[in-house]
Amino acid sequence: MMKWLTLFGSYITFPIKVGENLFFFLIESTDLLGHASSLSLSLRPPLRFAPLRKRKMVFKNRYMVMEVFMNPNRDQAAGDSIIITQFNVSNAIKDSILVNFGECGLAASLGSFQVKYVNPITNMCIIRASREDYEKVWASITMLRSIGHYPVVFNLLDLSGNLQATKTAALKCEKAKFEQYKLMVGDRLSADDTHRMNNYLAKIEVLEH
């Protein structure tokens, strides 16, 4: 389709249609056509515009595989205990971030922070944080000393920016921890415990970002 160029006074204006949009361009014509009052001519070839590339927004995360030592200063067989869940682990970490880094630190961390997985049998968990704030989250977890007033200590087993690598490391750690668990409980290990453990391993394999 031809584009027409018209002279008005000392300016040349011409429309160009791009898709459904019509753009008007204005250029000075004094040097080119100083004595003319009007002019129409066609432009060949028509202007071509390179299509804009669609860029996908990618959020960079870090994944931490953690083990939780329950009541580390006392024999596990003695006294009461607590069953860790995604809910109470997440709340404990958020409280630690708030105490150590304030409301602004907590607000900055919440964008990507999530407890992705918790296994109460082996006391293992996977925690996601943004690349910008993972050190803040990690520090808060290190300073965390209790979940629901029950003493705990977190130990980092693996840190990665790739979820697939995290899942591979977590599965390896889970299998090793379950072997230790079986030795600890001995004859008390039931078929239900093995079934539950297999379900937790399956949850790791289907984890998504």
List pLDDT tens digits, range 18-40: 666 666 665 655 544 444 444 44
Compute the distance between CA of residue 166 and CA of residue 160 in angstroms, rounded to an integer. 6
Domain ranges of the chain: 4-42, 61-205
Cβ within 8 Å of residue 151, ≥6 positions away? 70, 71, 72, 73, 74, 145
- 30 half-sphere exposure, CB direction, 13 A CA radius: 2
At 35 the pLDDT is 44
What is the topology classification, in CATH, of domain 61-205? Alpha-Beta Plaits (3.30.70)
**Lowest model confidence (mean pLDDT) among 26-40, 50-64, 67-81:** 26-40
Model confidence, pTM: 0.70
DSSP state for residue 172 in the 8-state scheme: H
Distances (CA, A) of 181 to 13, 67, 80, 91, 142: 80, 13, 19, 26, 24
